[in-house]
Structure 1
């Protein structure tokens, strides 16, 4: 597959067949993804392959706590936990959060063929915005390229997957469940498997919609 095709068709896959992902395949995916860039080449990530059915079920239950809150915020017309948002409306929406009668990805998280928890070593992150008054995100640049590379590398084997950060909402419980040291943070969970439907080209905003020249309010950049 051409690189441009891979980049244009690697979407979020949450619906998998029952076909397993062999350990050898998962190892090769991680072996490729490890070449992702990171600040100072410190590679401040750790990955945990979750196999134990009891641990998977516990992660699912923790996931659902955040998922139902996420749905409640969406019903209220809010972007879930956006750094800049209407906090009062958020509080009201969360007070109305409730389980939803459905059987989707969240409820079946424990059954996905391959499940990875990706951690960030906070000692290795060059977080340039660490001391700002606003929300800090720069440190993630040393971890999330690796996570994205996992999804790209999986395409070589006909696999698809999704990156989710929902379990960060239950980080203390997740860390206790997985025996994670204090200096590490939960960065993401990656689910992988054989897609029920192969991804096709994705729909995204045009370059002109998000790129300007010289200033934020400058003219649109066009090729």
Structure 2
């Protein structure tokens, strides 16, 4: 008989299945960690992270991801140098008051609004990116394009659906890392230099770079994450419908 306080699978909603960190705690404390100690991450820990993350959902269970674990110092430096260029383009748009690479109201991108070549040549100091190659764990996440069911491919707006078969895996990596006492962050700056990165990493033409995940033991962990409350993003029946009340509005706490 199922014990009191457990869900239909016999697990406590906020607790771990084997005495480890609960799913709720992991989700609510997995902020973007960009500063790590110099302590190396053992291979067996990374293996467990990837072993847990592989259970992420994907369209038709295609599991289109490939993870490149970067160890070679020269390759790591190359990834860092290419990522720095993408970061400079991103930061220059932020400084210009723009949302970097964001589509317009019509769902289409109409250009960066800045000189990208000039931006890439202009230093924009950022400790994390400038030292990316020194992250204890550096993973390049690739996606096999021919395995993606891109249902919005012919819509007159920016396509987003294909990522639904890739980024749940990335989030699983971060959650699994959190459960192991690690911190991490997903970045996409390398994508801005995908042709050069693909050559550096021997990525075949039918694959794309989805991002870079840095992991390590955090120097300090965020104790409070700021996120929008449920009432700000959940609506009933239609996009402009009434707010769906979250726990606070119902007088309940987690």
Deviation at 1:87, TM superposition (A): 4.1
Say whether residues 1:117 and 2:127 are aligned partners: no
The CA deviation string for residues 99-156 of structure 1, in whole angstroms up to 9 with x for no partner, is 12x3500100010000000000011111110111211110110010001000100112
1:1-223 → structure 2 map (5 Å cutoff): 1-84=21-104, 87=110, 90-92=112-114, 94=116, 97=119, 98-100=122-124, 102=125, 104-223=127-246
- 8 Å CA contact 1:72–1:93 kept in 2: the answer is no
In structure 1, what is the Cα distance between the partners aligned to 2:57 and 2:218? 27
- 8 Å CA contact 1:48–1:116 kept in 2: the answer is yes
After superposition, the CA RMSD in angstroms is: 1.5
- With over 3 angstroms needed to count, the CA separation of the structure-2 counterparts of 1:52 and 1:125, relative to structure 1, is same
In structure 1, what is the Cα distance between the partners aligned to 2:103 and 2:151? 18
In structure 2, what is the Cα distance between the partners aligned to 1:14 and 1:84? 30
Deviation at 1:96, TM superposition (A): 5.1
DSSP-derived class of the 2:146 partner:
coil
- Determine which structure has more spread, i.e. the larger CA radius of gyration: 2
DSSP-derived class of the 1:203 partner:
coil
Deviation at 1:5, TM superposition (A): 1.2
DSSP-derived class of the 1:37 partner:
coil
Which consecutive unaligned segments of at least 5 residues does structure 2 have?
1-20, 247-254
- 8 Å CA contact 1:72–1:96 kept in 2: the answer is no
Deviation at 1:67, TM superposition (A): 0.5
Deviation at 1:93, TM superposition (A): 5.6
DSSP-derived class of the 2:177 partner:
helix
How many residue pairs align between the two structures?
221
- 8 Å CA contact 1:63–1:166 kept in 2: the answer is yes
In structure 2, what is the Cα distance between the partners aligned to 1:35 and 1:18? 29
> TM-score scaled to structure 1, two decimals?
0.94
In structure 2, what is the Cα distance between the partners aligned to 1:47 and 1:4? 26
Considering Cα pairs closer than 8 Å and 6+ residues apart, tell me whether 1 or 2 has the greater RCO. 1
